[in-house]
């Protein structure tokens, strides 16, 4: 039996308690400073407030002040924070984890640098911690997985990535079940870039839903031609961006495309894309969603900024990314939605 400590009791971090505990491991779920009410609720009824299913018997719940005790003796620490908690996790959690203890993070995103690089969060944390002489064993989860479906035991295929295959195999043995299937990759940049890129592109696909609602009415039937056209262009641009990252393999693209599919069909990114397609500007859409965190917006703007920097050096052509650049204009300039359909066509 292993000891698995999950720091961050949001939906995805909490969902991973299910396969870990069902495999017979001791599971300790720690709330961040923002999760106090969630942990109180879990202790009271053994159920996350957002789930319709109880945790497996035996999951232990900790407030943030108890994190040190929860990490002590852990065989695996899972980071369950959103991309908006990256700095907090790097400053307050990673230094508390022994270097020999593997860390598996669910946090998806990319940080752009002044020279146009796009760094996945494990690389960001590794660079920052190396400056204080720490070298954590960082690994990450990528792939199409919604938390509530994992809790429901829907068949799910993901990829764990890290720099040491033996470590990844040990983590897989802890987490895999008959419904949670795990590929392994040592290409951290490729897997993490692919699953981060899909966020902005999922928003782009959802624009078409809002456009059709504006034209035909909110209760009109769904129109799939337009969604499919944007989806196809999104995959094409993701492939080119992965090549720009030096990670343009078919496996990486498939993981990203699968994650794109899931994100289009549910969640916050779909909602904001629909609102923008209906004609709201980004400030109005944010107001409509009343403070919902929107990681997709951050990723799209950062990637577009990196593309422009690389274009200035002649390394890429912004014309190869018409969908990305349009999404960026919608978000940063409040440009009206006007999907550049003809820019998606090609001659081969």
Cite the active site residues.
198
CA distance 34 to 282: 26
> Taking the chain, what is the end-to-end CA distance rounded to the nearest angstrom?
55
> What DSSP character marks residue 84?
G
CA distances for 175 relative to 1, 89, 169, 172, 182, angstroms: 12, 22, 10, 5, 8
Task: State which H helix or E strand residue 220 sits in.
Answer: none
Helices and strands (H and E) in the chain: how many: 15, 10
CA distance 36 to 216: 44
Q: Within 10 A of 86 (CB to CB), how many other CB atoms are there?
A: 18
Give me the phi and psi of 247, to 5 degrees please: -140, 35
CA distance 67 to 64: 5
CA distance 32 to 39: 9
CA distances for 309 relative to 46, 200, 235, 320, angstroms: 49, 18, 22, 14
Residues 6 or more apart whose CB falls under 8 angstroms from that of 276 comprise: 203, 206, 207, 210, 282, 285, 330, 337
CA of residue 297 relative to chain centroid, distance: 12
The answer to whether 102 touches 128, Cβ cutoff 8 Å, is: no
Q: Within 10 A of 239 (CB to CB), how many other CB atoms are there?
A: 19
């Amino acid at each position: 039996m292993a000891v698995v400590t999950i720091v961050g009791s949001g939906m995805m971090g909490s969902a991973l308690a299910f396969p870990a505990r069902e495999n017979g491991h001791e599971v300790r779920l720690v709330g961040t400073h923002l999760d106090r009410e969630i942990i109180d609720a879990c202790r009271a009824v053994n159920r996350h407030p957002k789930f319709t299913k109880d945790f497996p018997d035996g999951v232990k719940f900790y407030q943030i002040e108890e994190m040190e005790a929860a990490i002590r003796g852990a065989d695996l620490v899972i980071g369950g924070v959103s991309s908006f908690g990256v700095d907090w996790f790097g400053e307050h959690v990673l230094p508390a984890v022994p270097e020999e203890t593997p860390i598996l993070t669910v946090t998806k995103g990319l940080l752009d640098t002044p020279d146009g690089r796009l760094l996945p969060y494990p690389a960001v944390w590794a660079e920052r911690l190396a400056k204080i002489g720490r070298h954590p064993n960082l690994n990450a989860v990528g792939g199409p997985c919604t938390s509530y479906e994992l809790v429901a035991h829907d068949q799910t295929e993901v990829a764990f990535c890290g720099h040491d295959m033996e470590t990844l195999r040990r983590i897989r043995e802890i987490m895999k079940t008959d419904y949670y299937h795990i590929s392994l990759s040592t290409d951290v940049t490729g897997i993490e870039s692919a699953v981060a890129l899909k966020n902005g592109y999922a928003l782009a696909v959802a624009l078409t839903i809002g456009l059709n609602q504006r034209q035909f009415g909110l209760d009109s039937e769904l129109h799939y031609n337009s969604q499919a056209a944007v989806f196809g262009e999104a995959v094409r641009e993701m492939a080119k961006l992965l090549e720009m990252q030096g990670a343009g393999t078919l496996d990486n693209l498939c993981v990203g495309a699968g994650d794109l599919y899931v994100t289009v069909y549910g969640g916050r990114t779909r909602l904001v894309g629909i609102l923008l397609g209906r004609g709201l500007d980004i400030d109005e859409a944010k107001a409509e969603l009343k403070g919902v965190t929107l990681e997709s917006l951050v990723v799209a703007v950062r990637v577009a900024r990196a593309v422009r920097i690389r274009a200035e050096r002649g390394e890429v052509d912004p014309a190869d990314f018409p969908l990305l650049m349009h999404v960026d204009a919608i978000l940063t300039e409040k440009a009206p939605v006007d999907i550049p359909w003809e820019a998606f066509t090609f001659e081969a």
